[in-house]
Amino acid sequence: MPTPKPRPLHLAALGYLDPRLAGINFVPPWPGPRSPDVKTLELAELPYGPQPGWYAVDVNFLHGSRERMAIGDQGRSVPTTDDVDFSYFLKLEPTDRVGWSIYIYNITLAEANRVRKQLGLTPIY
């Protein structure tokens, strides 16, 4: 069975430089709530929380870092607060790791919906 291509790659990496300078094409992942108790009206219209696809996430973002994220020219910011961040990835098993700081995830629809249910989010169909 051929290895699936990670397209699009969702990347949450620390830094000031655009990863495209190194030939990495990506889109930023959407943040999610830290718990089902978080009700964030500002993000209600966004594709919020876990979504199926390929992700490369800096370990610092898994633990709530508020450092600058390299988002290149995507034209959107990725809001994180005390209640909204990328910690939902801790509820998923990484597929691989790059060095010691980047975790790779290939999230299936079933996995995304399992975590979305834990976070009190609407399932994806």
What are the tokens at 9?
Answer: 């790659």
Locate 122 and state its tokens. 């609407």
Query: 104 near 50, Cβ under 8 Å?
Result: no
The tokens describing 62, both together, are 């898994």
Length of the chain: 125
Determine which helix (DSSP H) or strand (DSSP E) holds 10, and give its type and residue range.
strand 9-12
Q: Which of 83, 106, 109, 87 shows the shortest CA–CA distance to 95?
A: 106
Q: Given a cut of 50, is residue 3 above it in pLDDT? A: yes
| φ and ψ of 106, to 5 deg | -120, 90
Model pLDDT, residue 36:
66
**21-79 confidence digits (pLDDT tens):** 788 788 888 888 766 666 554 545 556 789 999 999 999 888 877 676 766 555 444 55
Single pTM value for the model: 0.78
- pLDDT tens per residue across span 106-118: 999 999 999 999 9
Closest CA to 54 of 124, 120, 112, 125: 112
Q: State the pLDDT at residue 93.
A: 96
